[in-house]
Amino acid sequence: MKRLCVSACLLGVPCRWKGDAKPCEAVQRLAKDPRIELVPFCPELAAGLGCPRPPIELVEGEGVEPLQPFNPSTSSTLQPRGSASPIRVLRVDRTGDATDALRAACEAQADALARSGGVDGFVLKSRSPSCGLAAPLHDAAGRETGIAPGLWAALARERFPDARFFDETRPPGAAP
Ligand code: SF4
């Protein structure tokens, strides 16, 4: 039995910032395969960001400072762990900072996966600042400056170096 952690929105869970889902046929097929156990996870919901919620993006560079927590009631009780990243996850309108709450939620999920037997792979939503294997990176003014892994994608690679990583554009079983 293979165990895959998947972005919940790809399974059809309406957890995206607009309140919709992004169902992926390939992922939904995996859900019916008795040889595969899927573990759905939405980092932004787990971080208490709500749904629908204001959009967030990866931000790096001069002038990027931590802002007020996105959700003070959640993030005040959650402490970041692990390696600090200079990249932050901020509201697009720059009125809140989701970094610490997201990192804590992702660390908790990684701990839970490790405790319950590990994971063979991840199927993640592309371009998401949380789940994307490569997501747009912005400067303080909101200009796109490059790409970087989303916070969950980066942390999952660090915590599960032997796992395989896919997204809905190249799901498991797709031709190379
Ligand atoms: S991409 Fe990730 S954080 Fe965004 S809705 Fe899907 S599961 Fe949640």
Instruction: Output Rg (C-alpha) for the chain, integer angstroms.
Output: 16
Please determine, for residue 174, whether its predicted confidence score (pLDDT) is greater than 90.
no
Residue type for position 166: F
The two three-digit tokens of residue 10, written as one number: 């790809």
Q: Which residues of 99-117 are buried (b: 16+ CB within 10 A; e: fewer)?
A: bbbbbbbbbebbeebeeee
Measured between alpha carbons, how far is 104 from 125 in angstroms, rounded to an integer? 20
The minimum-distance atom of ligand 1 relative to the CA of 128 is 1
Q: Is 53 in the pocket of ligand 1 (CB under 6 A)?
A: no
pLDDT at 75: 38
Q: Is 123 in the pocket of ligand 1 (CB under 6 A)?
A: no
For ligand 1, mutation pick of 5, 6, 9 (most atoms within 8 Å of CB): 9
- pLDDT tens-digit readout, 63-86: 565 555 554 444 333 333 344 447
Residue type for position 22: K
For ligand 1, mutation pick of 18, 42, 122 (most atoms within 8 Å of CB): 42
- pLDDT tens-digit readout, 14-69: 999 999 999 999 999 999 999 999 999 999 999 999 999 999 999 987 556 555 55
Q: Is 130 in the pocket of ligand 1 (CB under 6 A)?
A: yes
Using CA positions, which residue lies closest to atom 6 of ligand 1? 9
Rounded distance from Cα 175 to ligand 1 centre (Å): 25
- pLDDT tens-digit readout, 89-112: 999 999 999 999 999 999 999 999
Q: Global pTM?
A: 0.88
Rounded distance from Cα 41 to ligand 1 centre (Å): 8
Mean pLDDT of 145-166: 96
Which helix (H) or strand (E) segment holds residue 40: the answer is strand 36-41
